[in-house]
Amino acid sequence: MALQTAAINPKEFGVFIAEETTVGTFATSGFQGVEVESISMPTFNDLRVMEQRSGSDGRVVNSGDLLKHEPGAVHEIAISGVLTHQNATILLENALGKEVATNFITLASGYEHTDFAFGAGSSGAHNTISVLIQGHSSVASTYKIPGVVISSLVLSANSQENGGRFNFEMTGQTRCTVASSPAARVSSGLTDYSTGYVYMGEFTEDKVVMDEEVILDQFSLNIENPVQFLGNKLAGGFDGNPEKYVRGVPNLNITANCVVKFDANTNDFFNLSRNLTVASSNGLFLANNSTFASADDFAINIPKAIIEEVSYDEGDYLKLSTTLKMVDGGSGNLISVRVPD
């Protein structure tokens, strides 16, 4: 084989995500490009035996001792990128496990996710998504990852950096089969990422934390919604695909970190944290309209929350780093998100 002299720029790789119309079946269209910070390979957790087995000759592992077995392995994919009006809906629907209804994703008090089956129809991205790592045109280096569930999603922004633009970090998991050999590039069904970025400046109404109006310097929303893959789907032999997907087990955990100006409105946050005081109506309210249902851009409302942690954040002026934890108040909504158009 001749030496290859061409070098490949990492920026020539791409990442795309798409809703699946059938749970666990790789999508054939509707892929939305993601502006990523870097390219990383999935973590393939196949069973790999690399030790010498009993009865082998010599004192070094033999090639015949090696074993690789994929079926039943849970693979992980981590993606960090820029949140846009185009990818926000796919990410939030899947992370929260709920489909958008009239621009809002809302989880009500007492919420339990409805389990779903491998091979079932899937309208929207709330069940599973496909992730495409688009390789270089000159080398077969494309990976197709079906049946992905976002178990962790973080949306974050800093008003002092990049104009307050939101980034995201997601971790997705799948127990569906992923081809061990990369494929050729996908040539159709792809839409390049856009510059329809999401900014903190879209929260033009008063920012409210623990029922108090605040000046918000930094913000992050952290959604932890675990997935369990149950059973083994048998279709012409054991392939490792799960029979059922179960979300929110052992529980759904949503937190928000708000770095706010320390003043008379936020001075009591330490006491609220010590006493585990639950917000009366607006643990977190970020929107462009004082009536949340009338918000027409990215917005977040968590009615009931406690302060899990709070500490001073020193800088040019004194701030508080405040971590809120969503709680169920027994009625109303747990969280409502107005997705960007």
What digits encode the pLDDT tens for the residues 4-25?
767 766 667 789 999 999 999 9
Residue 41 has pLDDT above 60, yes or no: yes
Residue 283 has pLDDT above 80, yes or no: yes
The pLDDT-based confidence of 127 (bands split at 50, 70, 90) is very high
Q: Which residue has the higher pLDDT, 150 or 184?
A: 150
Q: What percentage of the chain carries pLDDT values higher than 90?
A: 66
Helix (H, G, I), strand (E, B) or coil at 32: strand
Can you say whether residue 110 is alpha, beta or left, with left for phi > 0 and alpha for psi between -120 and 50 degrees?
left
Mean pLDDT of 41-51: 77
> What are 333's strand-pairing partners?
108
pLDDT value for 107? 97
Domain ranges for the chain? 10-46+64-338
Cα(301)–Cα(284) distance, integer angstroms: 5
H or E stretch at 18: strand 14-19
Q: Which residue has the higher pLDDT, 315 or 213?
A: 213
Which of 49-53, 147-151, 183-187 shows the lowest per-residue confidence on average (mean pLDDT)?
Answer: 49-53
Residue type, 1: M
Residue type, 290: S
- The set of long-range contacts for 158-163, using a CB threshold of 8 Å and a minimum separation of 24, is 158/217, 158/218, 159/200, 159/216, 159/217, 159/218, 160/217, 160/218, 163/199, 163/201
Provide φ and ψ at 275, rounded to 5°.
Answer: -90, 0
Mean pLDDT of the chain: 90
pLDDT value for 63? 76
Tens digit of each residue's pLDDT (9 = 90 or more) over 186-231 = 888 888 888 899 999 999 998 999 999 999 999 999 999 999 999 8
Residue 172 has pLDDT above 90, yes or no: yes
Mean pLDDT of 226-242: 78
Q: How far is CA 37 from the centre of its chain?
A: 15
Mean pLDDT of 95-110: 95
Which of 186-200, 300-314, 325-339 shows the lowest per-residue confidence on average (mean pLDDT)?
Answer: 186-200
pLDDT value for 51? 78
The pLDDT-based confidence of 110 (bands split at 50, 70, 90) is very high
pLDDT value for 80? 94
Give the predicted TM-score (pTM) of the model. Answer: 0.92
Which of 121-135, 196-210, 291-305 shows the lowest per-residue confidence on average (mean pLDDT)?
Answer: 121-135
Cα(217)–Cα(159) distance, integer angstroms: 5
Tokens 């409302």 — which residue?
Answer: 301
Mean pLDDT of 129-133: 94
